[in-house]
Structure 1
Amino acid sequence: MEDILHITYAIDTFYFLICGVLVMWMAAGFSMLEAGLVRSKNTAEILTKNIALFAIACTMYLFVGYFIMYSSPEGGIFPNLGFLIGTENAVEAVTAGGDDAPYYSMRSDFFFQVVFVATAMSIVSGAVAERMKLWAFLIFAVVLTGVIYPVSGFWTWGGGWLASVGYSDYAGSGIVHLAGAAAALAGVLVLGPRKGKYGPKGEVHAIPGANMPLATLGTFILWMGWFGFNGGSELKMSDISSANNVAQVFVNTNAAAAGGVIAALIFSKIWFKKADLTMALNGALAGLVAITADPLSPTGQGAALIGAIGGVLVVLSIVFLDKLRIDDPVGAISVHGVVGIWGVLAVPFNADVSFVAQIIGILGIFFWVFIASLVVWLILKAIMGIRVSEEEEYAGVDIAECGLEAYPEFTKNSK
């Protein structure tokens, strides 16, 4: 019996770690997606943001975030404050067996959770692209990953008050994606739109990205990483039931992404008379976000439908936000926020979960993250400013913030 416990512990720990690596690979996906959807003069800066935010998220979550999220009183509103991630499971605790015995390494749990934090912060980087100061963004990343996200994470996955009211979110349509979008929305509202994006009479001027192949590659990387995002949230696979669940999660995740692409592509063709690649890419991500709240309960066909609705919603939302003059260069607020809400609300259609609890969860997560982020953005604006000058924005933030260009051989000054 003891040997079996050792083996299952090792299998579940290994599975957790590999899924964490897949989610970590999503950082590359966000980097490529955002680098493709911004103009070439802003590419190096957004890549710098992506690798720096990942490092900041890992460090802040190591020192304070994980403790806040998972070391607090059950059913509470205010989390405990503390440092570091605690001690590893003892061999005796594992081999004791029983329902309370740990079945995977604490360090593997930390590693899996930390890459989720980085995902939430990555959502913000694309929405504020092309006009935000690099160091203001990085300071905000410290606060979001160290405090803001862990608090709402404690409310849900940490056993806090949202968990106690019955809010259900399997892999984080609300906990991760809506949270990131709420922080992004607060930043965009304080920051304002890019110069030239909107005309004086309400015109919306398209600002195309520089590299559609790179954006497409980023989308495929995110699609691949999402199997770890959702699959790892089953938390184990060393028994038949868990292994079957993981397989269903993988099937549903893939089906939802495919449904999102098809729906967004058809809808954009009907509406714009063109097959818009950017809408198809965002449709894939919308499908993935939509199914993340419950990738286990639906059938594969049901998952495709959930993703397809997300694909339509993201097109509508991107156009609507432009009408409101909310400038989001990559569509992050629509993909992760609007569709994140849909994903949370879709859970009761397939699982025994209350719509009321889901709505409470949406409101709790959104308003906490939005208001807390808004306060931080306003403080940063007052102290150091968060927007580059008009001249720096025109020249590109690569030179202003990073002192180099991503594509120097294509500039007129290159030899």
Structure 2
Amino acid sequence: MDVAELSRGLDTVWVVLTAAMILLMEGGFALLEAGFVRQKNAVSIIMKVFVDIVFGALVFYFFGFAIMYGKDIGGLFGSSGFLLNGDLSHISLNISHETYWLFQCAFVIAVISIVSGAVAERIHFRAYILLTIAMTGLIYPLSGHWVWAVNGWLGKLGMIDFAGSAAIHALGGFAALAATLFIGPRIGKFSPDGKVNIVSPSNLPLASVGAFILWFGWFGFNAGSTLSATNAAIGHIAVTTMLSAASGGAICILFTMFRYRKADPPMVINGSLAGLVGITAGCAFVSDGAAIWIGAICGIAMVLVTEYLERKQIDDPVGAFAVHGISGSIGTLAVGLCAIPELTEGVGQGYYGLLYGGGWNLLGAQALGLVVIAIWGFAVTWAVLLLIRKIMPVRVSRDEELIGLDVGIHGVPAYNQENDFIDVDHITRK
């Protein structure tokens, strides 16, 4: 076996392994969201995660990957690679196209999983399937092409988004905001007089385990984006990922102790996730110290934005927008400020951070890309939901929501207790 063949084999193993780590994050999403919502909607969460995986993978195989990474047309979309066939010669990597598809498939599944938590406890299951198809087949692949494809127009302008603070998390976060505004708050979440009623999580230990699984998978998410087992940056990427997550959680412990006089567990969980989201764009390009600052800023911003949404009576049960939309935005812009010259050599038109004397070029490219992706994610998600509403209900009936989506939509509770009988005959099925 020669060196080139050995290198190809190692890279293939590395990418498949990290793709599996990213896919395991779906277990994290499932446990996190099931722990944050009420017990009567736990099965609904699990079913939506299965929709993310099974429909997301198939749609991305049939046409999503081709739109995202196919032969470029005008820097806007791809036109080859449907069913992984056709001309993909422009993708020049040390791994096969199938291996690359598998890694990117894990990414696309993560995008729609961000949205699922924001509409928990009230979206209709059939409507969610259609939203998943639109997100994995069109919304994400198009904007992802702009950033990551060989001739994507945002990438050519110099935008840097190593593992997706903008292309994945900001997109998913602003799509989640559109969805939760479109579908409205849960029954009883807000009183007519504007009072916010607390909906207690059903299982915080479960949610914390979900966060730990997401944290573990994030090392595959970020370090795996090197697409090479021999890339010397892997260690640095893993360290910045760890530091930002730890900083986000630590600052939320301290900040909520100061603000609420007690450490708030859901905020602390989301604080570490906010740090992970924030470092995703720049994990390969910023210093360890910058990673700590990014995590801390994302953690505080997440708490403040969560409070703001509740004051505005916007119901996001798991904090999807505050964690992904806001932290993804902060992380994207942070690259424009903190990217180190020697680490950005050869990427993003050679631009580097403003704080390192790089001028406004990179920060401008980051800001433009962020605004485009945020508007795209919000507007197209809203348009897709409008189309879906013309076909079927987007929100479940009042009876279904009150009894819970587990029984109301799926006909089975999450936890079966002895002599626990539920009459579902009166529930209106639509």
Band the TM-score falls in, shorter-chain normalisation: over 0.9
The question of 1:393 aligning with 2:401 is answered: yes
Match of 2:249? 261
SS at match of 1:84: helix
Q: Confirm or deny that 1:207 pairs with 2:172.
A: no
- How far did residue 182 of structure 1 move? 1.8
Q: Tell me whether 1:11 sits opposite 2:10 in the alignment.
A: yes
CA change 1:46–1:245 in 2 (3 A) is same
Is structure 2 residue 126 aligned with structure 1 residue 135?
Answer: yes
Three-state SS of the structure 1 residue aligned to 2:84 is coil
Deviations 1:328-373 (A, max 9, x none): 0000111000111000010022220511111110111111121111
Cα distance in 1 for residues equivalent to 2:23 and 2:87: 22
Residue by residue, what CA displacement relative to the aligned partner does 1:202-237 show, whole Å, maximum 9, x if unpaired?
211110110111100000000000000000111213
Is the contact between residue 75 and residue 164 of structure 1 (CA under 8 Å) also seen in structure 2?
no
State the match for 2:426 in structure 1.
Answer: none
1:117 to 105, 108, 125: 108
Please tell me whether residue 221 in structure 1 is matched to residue 213 in structure 2.
Answer: yes
The answer as to whether partners of 1:75 and 1:155 remain within 8 angstroms in 2 is: no
Tell me if 1:324 matches 2:323.
no
Which residue is 1:246 aligned to? Answer: 234
1:380 equivalenced with 2:379 (yes/no) = no
Letter matched to residue 371 of structure 1: A
- Supply the distance in 1 between the matched residues of 2:78 and 2:13 (Cα, whole angstroms): 30
Aligned counterpart, 1:167: 159
* SS across alignment from 1:205: coil
Distance across 2 between alignment mates of 1:179 and 1:410:
44
Alignment of 1:8-407 (within 5 A): 8-73=7-72, 76-80=75-79, 83-86=82-85, 102-158=93-149, 159-238=151-230, 242=231, 244-351=232-339, 352=352, 354-407=362-415
Answer whether contact 1:256 1:306 (CA < 8 A) is retained.
yes
Deviation string, structure 1 residues 169-198 (Cα, Å, up to 9, x no partner): 000000001111122111111100001111
* Structure 1 segments (4+ residues) deviating >6 Å: none
Aligned length: 401
Q: CA deviation at 1:84?
A: 1.2
| Contact 2:80 2:86 survives alignment (8 Å) | no
Q: Structure 1 unaligned segments of length 5 or more: list them.
A: 94-98
Amino acid at match of 1:108: T
**How far is 1:128 from its partner?**
0.1
Give the TM-score of the pair, scaled to structure 1: 0.93
Higher RCO (C-alpha under 8 Å, 6+ residues apart): 1
Is the partner of 1:237 in helix, strand or coil? coil
Whole-Å separation in 2 of the counterparts to 1:245 and 1:50:
32
CA contact (8 A) 1:72 1:154 kept: no
Give the 3 Å change call, closer, same or farther, for CA 100–384 of structure 1 in structure 2. closer
Please tell me whether the aligned partners of residues 332 and 366 of structure 2 are also in contact (alpha carbons under 8 angstroms). Answer: yes
Deviation, structure 1 residue 72: 3.3
User: CA offsets per residue over residues 74-130 of structure 1, 9 Å max, x none?
Assistant: 7512443662113799xxx9xxxxx99641222111100001000000001100000
Aligned partners of 2:237 and 2:85: how far apart in 1?
30
The offset of 1:412, in angstroms, is: 5.1
- Supply the RMSD in Å over aligned alpha carbons: 1.9
